Amino acid sequence: MSKNILILTGSPRKGGNSDLLAEAFIAGAQQSGHTTVKYVTAAKDIKGCKACKTCFSKGIACSFPDDFNELAPFLEQADMVVFATPLYWFSFPVQLKAAIDKFYSFLIGKRTLKIKECVLLVCGVAEDEAEYEGIVKSYELIADYQKWIDRGILIVPGVNEKGDILKTEGLLRAENLGKSMLSGETA
Ligand SMILES: Cc1cc2nc3c(=O)[nH]c(=O)nc-3n(C[C@H](O)[C@H](O)[C@H](O)COP(=O)(O)O)c2cc1C
Protein backbone atom coordinates (compact mmCIF):
# COMPACT_ATOMS: atom_id res chain seq x y z
CA MET A 1 0.00 0.00 0.00
CA SER A 2 1.34 3.39 -0.98
CA LYS A 3 1.88 5.77 1.93
CA ASN A 4 2.25 9.52 2.24
CA ILE A 5 5.57 9.93 4.02
CA LEU A 6 6.54 13.25 5.57
CA ILE A 7 10.27 13.67 6.12
CA LEU A 8 11.10 16.35 8.68
CA THR A 9 14.75 17.33 8.53
CA GLY A 10 16.65 19.07 11.30
CA SER A 11 19.89 20.37 9.84
CA PRO A 12 20.54 23.85 8.48
CA ARG A 13 23.20 22.34 6.17
CA LYS A 14 21.80 21.71 2.69
CA GLY A 15 23.60 18.67 1.34
CA GLY A 16 24.90 17.88 4.82
CA ASN A 17 25.07 14.40 6.29
CA SER A 18 21.49 14.13 7.55
CA ASP A 19 20.14 15.85 4.44
CA LEU A 20 21.80 13.11 2.37
CA LEU A 21 20.31 10.52 4.74
CA ALA A 22 16.87 12.04 4.11
CA GLU A 23 17.42 11.97 0.33
CA ALA A 24 18.57 8.34 0.41
CA PHE A 25 15.52 7.30 2.44
CA ILE A 26 13.29 9.23 0.03
CA ALA A 27 14.88 7.52 -2.99
CA GLY A 28 14.20 4.11 -1.42
CA ALA A 29 10.65 4.98 -0.39
CA GLN A 30 9.84 6.30 -3.86
CA GLN A 31 11.18 3.10 -5.43
CA SER A 32 8.62 1.28 -3.30
CA GLY A 33 5.86 3.51 -4.65
CA HIS A 34 5.41 5.88 -1.73
CA THR A 35 4.72 9.59 -1.97
CA THR A 36 7.17 11.76 -0.06
CA VAL A 37 7.22 15.33 1.19
CA LYS A 38 10.49 16.67 2.57
CA TYR A 39 10.14 19.57 4.99
CA VAL A 40 13.34 21.36 5.99
CA THR A 41 12.51 22.80 9.40
CA ALA A 42 15.79 24.76 9.53
CA ALA A 43 14.77 26.69 6.41
CA LYS A 44 11.52 27.71 8.10
CA ASP A 45 10.52 29.94 10.93
CA ILE A 46 8.84 27.85 13.62
CA LYS A 47 8.90 29.36 17.08
CA GLY A 48 8.49 27.64 20.42
CA CYS A 49 5.01 26.73 21.67
CA LYS A 50 3.60 29.43 23.95
CA ALA A 51 1.22 27.00 25.71
CA CYS A 52 -1.74 29.37 25.12
CA LYS A 53 -3.90 26.32 24.36
CA THR A 54 -5.97 28.15 21.76
CA CYS A 55 -4.75 25.82 18.99
CA PHE A 56 -7.15 25.54 16.02
CA SER A 57 -9.68 27.84 17.74
CA LYS A 58 -9.08 30.51 15.11
CA GLY A 59 -9.16 28.14 12.15
CA ILE A 60 -5.38 27.73 12.13
CA ALA A 61 -3.20 25.28 14.02
CA CYS A 62 -1.22 27.90 15.91
CA SER A 63 -2.66 31.22 17.04
CA PHE A 64 0.84 32.75 16.94
CA PRO A 65 1.23 32.23 13.22
CA ASP A 66 4.54 31.04 11.88
CA ASP A 67 5.55 28.34 9.41
CA PHE A 68 4.00 25.63 11.60
CA ASN A 69 0.69 26.59 10.03
CA GLU A 70 2.20 25.64 6.67
CA LEU A 71 3.52 22.36 8.10
CA ALA A 72 0.26 21.38 9.85
CA PRO A 73 -1.58 20.30 6.64
CA PHE A 74 1.38 18.09 5.68
CA LEU A 75 1.14 16.43 9.09
CA GLU A 76 -2.59 15.93 8.59
CA GLN A 77 -2.02 14.27 5.21
CA ALA A 78 0.84 12.00 6.33
CA ASP A 79 0.63 8.28 7.09
CA MET A 80 4.21 8.18 8.35
CA VAL A 81 6.67 10.73 9.70
CA VAL A 82 10.44 10.44 9.37
CA PHE A 83 12.83 12.50 11.47
CA ALA A 84 16.14 12.95 9.61
CA THR A 85 18.47 14.88 11.82
CA PRO A 86 21.93 15.55 13.15
CA LEU A 87 22.49 15.01 16.85
CA TYR A 88 22.72 18.39 18.60
CA TRP A 89 23.66 18.27 22.27
CA PHE A 90 22.47 14.66 22.52
CA SER A 91 19.03 15.64 21.22
CA PHE A 92 17.06 17.22 18.36
CA PRO A 93 18.19 20.56 16.87
CA VAL A 94 15.94 23.35 18.11
CA GLN A 95 14.41 23.99 14.68
CA LEU A 96 13.08 20.44 14.52
CA LYS A 97 12.21 20.37 18.22
CA ALA A 98 10.09 23.52 17.79
CA ALA A 99 8.08 21.74 15.10
CA ILE A 100 7.70 18.68 17.35
CA ASP A 101 6.61 20.88 20.27
CA LYS A 102 3.81 22.24 18.12
CA PHE A 103 2.47 18.72 17.48
CA TYR A 104 0.78 19.65 20.78
CA SER A 105 -1.71 21.72 18.77
CA PHE A 106 -3.32 18.52 17.45
CA LEU A 107 -3.86 17.28 21.02
CA ILE A 108 -5.34 20.55 22.23
CA GLY A 109 -7.38 21.07 19.05
CA LYS A 110 -8.62 17.43 19.26
CA ARG A 111 -7.53 16.85 15.68
CA THR A 112 -6.69 13.22 15.09
CA LEU A 113 -3.65 12.63 12.93
CA LYS A 114 -3.69 9.60 10.65
CA ILE A 115 0.05 9.07 11.12
CA LYS A 116 0.58 5.45 12.19
CA GLU A 117 4.32 4.94 11.79
CA CYS A 118 7.61 6.74 12.26
CA VAL A 119 11.33 6.46 11.58
CA LEU A 120 14.43 8.11 13.07
CA LEU A 121 17.52 8.78 10.95
CA VAL A 122 20.25 10.43 13.03
CA CYS A 123 23.93 11.15 12.55
CA GLY A 124 26.59 12.77 14.68
CA VAL A 125 30.30 13.07 15.24
CA ALA A 126 30.22 10.79 18.30
CA GLU A 127 31.46 7.28 17.60
CA ASP A 128 29.85 5.77 20.68
CA GLU A 129 26.19 4.91 20.10
CA ALA A 130 25.56 5.47 23.84
CA GLU A 131 25.77 9.21 23.07
CA TYR A 132 22.62 8.87 20.93
CA GLU A 133 20.55 7.47 23.82
CA GLY A 134 18.90 10.82 24.56
CA ILE A 135 17.48 11.41 21.10
CA VAL A 136 16.57 7.74 20.67
CA LYS A 137 14.70 7.67 23.98
CA SER A 138 12.87 10.93 23.16
CA TYR A 139 11.90 9.54 19.76
CA GLU A 140 10.68 6.28 21.32
CA LEU A 141 8.62 8.09 23.97
CA ILE A 142 7.10 10.39 21.35
CA ALA A 143 6.22 7.36 19.20
CA ASP A 144 4.69 5.52 22.19
CA TYR A 145 2.71 8.55 23.28
CA GLN A 146 1.36 9.14 19.78
CA LYS A 147 0.73 5.39 19.28
CA TRP A 148 2.99 5.44 16.23
CA ILE A 149 4.77 2.23 15.32
CA ASP A 150 8.54 2.65 15.15
CA ARG A 151 9.59 1.37 11.72
CA GLY A 152 13.31 1.88 12.19
CA ILE A 153 16.05 3.75 13.98
CA LEU A 154 19.19 4.34 11.93
CA ILE A 155 22.17 5.85 13.73
CA VAL A 156 25.19 6.91 11.66
CA PRO A 157 28.02 7.71 14.09
CA GLY A 158 31.38 9.32 13.38
CA VAL A 159 30.35 11.89 10.77
CA ASN A 160 31.03 15.58 11.12
CA GLU A 161 32.06 17.47 7.98
CA LYS A 162 29.74 17.64 4.99
CA GLY A 163 30.19 14.51 2.89
CA ASP A 164 31.61 12.36 5.70
CA ILE A 165 28.51 10.20 5.40
CA LEU A 166 29.58 9.18 1.89
CA LYS A 167 32.40 7.19 3.53
CA THR A 168 29.91 5.12 5.54
CA GLU A 169 27.19 2.61 4.73
CA GLY A 170 24.63 5.06 6.12
CA LEU A 171 23.13 6.13 2.81
CA LEU A 172 22.73 2.57 1.58
CA ARG A 173 21.10 1.61 4.87
CA ALA A 174 18.78 4.63 4.69
CA GLU A 175 17.80 3.79 1.11
CA ASN A 176 17.14 0.16 2.05
CA LEU A 177 15.08 1.28 5.03
CA GLY A 178 13.03 3.53 2.73
CA LYS A 179 12.54 0.66 0.30
CA SER A 180 11.54 -1.75 3.06
CA MET A 181 8.61 0.35 4.21
CA LEU A 182 6.23 -1.90 2.23
CA SER A 183 7.43 -5.19 3.55
CA GLY A 184 7.74 -4.36 7.23
CA GLU A 185 11.50 -4.92 7.32
CA THR A 186 13.73 -2.55 9.26
CA ALA A 187 17.38 -1.52 8.88
C1 LIG B 1 25.17 22.92 17.60
C2 LIG B 1 25.76 21.57 17.34
C3 LIG B 1 25.67 20.60 18.33
C4 LIG B 1 26.18 19.33 18.11
N5 LIG B 1 26.06 18.39 19.10
C6 LIG B 1 26.53 17.14 18.88
C7 LIG B 1 26.38 16.12 19.87
O8 LIG B 1 25.83 16.32 20.96
N9 LIG B 1 26.89 14.89 19.60
C10 LIG B 1 27.49 14.61 18.40
O11 LIG B 1 27.92 13.48 18.20
N12 LIG B 1 27.62 15.54 17.43
C13 LIG B 1 27.16 16.79 17.64
N14 LIG B 1 27.29 17.75 16.67
C15 LIG B 1 27.88 17.38 15.38
C16 LIG B 1 26.83 17.05 14.30
O17 LIG B 1 25.86 16.14 14.77
C18 LIG B 1 27.56 16.44 13.10
O19 LIG B 1 28.48 17.36 12.58
C20 LIG B 1 26.59 15.99 12.01
O21 LIG B 1 27.27 15.19 11.07
C22 LIG B 1 25.99 17.19 11.29
O23 LIG B 1 25.02 16.73 10.41
P24 LIG B 1 24.56 17.64 9.16
O25 LIG B 1 25.71 17.59 8.17
O26 LIG B 1 23.34 16.98 8.68
O27 LIG B 1 24.32 19.02 9.66
C28 LIG B 1 26.80 19.02 16.87
C29 LIG B 1 26.89 20.01 15.89
C30 LIG B 1 26.39 21.27 16.11
C31 LIG B 1 26.49 22.31 15.02
Task: Please state, in angstroms and rounded to a whole number, the distance separating the CA atoms of residues 21 and 153.
Answer: 12
**pLDDT, tens digit (0-9, with 9 covering 90-100), for 34-53:** 999 999 999 999 999 999 99
What pLDDT score was predicted for residue 183? Answer: 54
Q: Which atom of ligand 1 is nearest to the CA of 90?
A: 8
Q: pLDDT tier at 185 (50, 70, 90 boundaries)?
A: very low
- The pLDDT confidence band at residue 182, using thresholds 50, 70 and 90, is confident
Q: Confirm or reject: Cβ of 88 under 6 Å from ligand 1.
A: yes
CA-closest candidate to residue 119, choices 42, 49, 175? 175
Q: What predicted TM-score, i.e. pTM, was given to this entire model?
A: 0.97
Q: What's the pLDDT tens digit per position in 111-153?
A: 999 999 999 999 999 999 999 999 999 999 999 999 999 999 9
**89 CB under 6 A from ligand 1?**
yes
Beta carbons within 8 Å of 128's beta carbon, 6+ residues apart? 157
**Confidence check: pLDDT of 187 > 60:** no
Return d(Cα 110, Cα 87) in angstroms, integer: 31
**Residue 85 Cβ < 6 Å to ligand 1:** no
| H-helix segments, 58-169 | 68-77, 94-101, 104-108, 133-146
SS3 52: coil
Whose CA is closest to 139, among 125, 156, 122, 124? 122
β-pair partners for 150: 118
For the chain, domains (ranges, CATH) are: 4-179 (3.40.50.360)
Q: How far apart are CA 186 and CA 25, in angstroms?
A: 12
